[in-house]
Amino acid sequence: MEKDSFQQLELEKSGPPKRTTPKRIIHFVDGDIMEEYSTEEEEEEDKEQKTNSTLDPSKLSWGPYLWYWAGRIASSSFSTCEFLGGRLAVFLGLDQPKYQYVLNEYYRTQNQESDKESKGNRSKAQPSKVPNEKCHLEAGGPEYGTR
């Protein structure tokens, strides 16, 4: 009886149980469902990220305000320079290897040499055998579709 009253007191102190919603619900092919709940640490990190991302510069004093805008200007300037530099490199052809023309010439001479060798061997080549067109395999036969 004492245990029952103790449990009732604990339930009254804790209040109604919190209803948590799962972070993710994963449905498997075989019909199983797995619910993934977030931990307290993840919830705290999410709250910190939300507060950091919603920084209101109008509420800052002069020092942090200037640092905030200097950081924003520097970040946007760097992103712009990186984008324009990439476009300029493509326009000027600086995104290709330095000695690509040497490699292209090498492959071209290799192809020409192999073509000359194959032309010399063509006169010695034997004619290919023509398959026997008179003997067809039946669609329902045992050899049809086997290797």
How does pLDDT run across 100-127, given as a tens digit for each residue? 889 999 999 999 999 888 877 665 555 5
Residue 67 token pair? 């640092």
Predicted local distance difference test score (pLDDT) of residue 88: 95
Sequence-separated (6 or more) residues with CB below 8 Å from residue 137: 143, 144
Does the structure show a pLDDT above 60 at 10? yes
> CA angle 128-133-134, nearest 5°?
140
> pTM of the full predicted structure?
0.35
How does pLDDT run across 49-75, given as a tens digit for each residue? 766 666 788 888 999 999 999 999 999
Closest to 35 measured CA to CA, from 20, 17, 18: 20
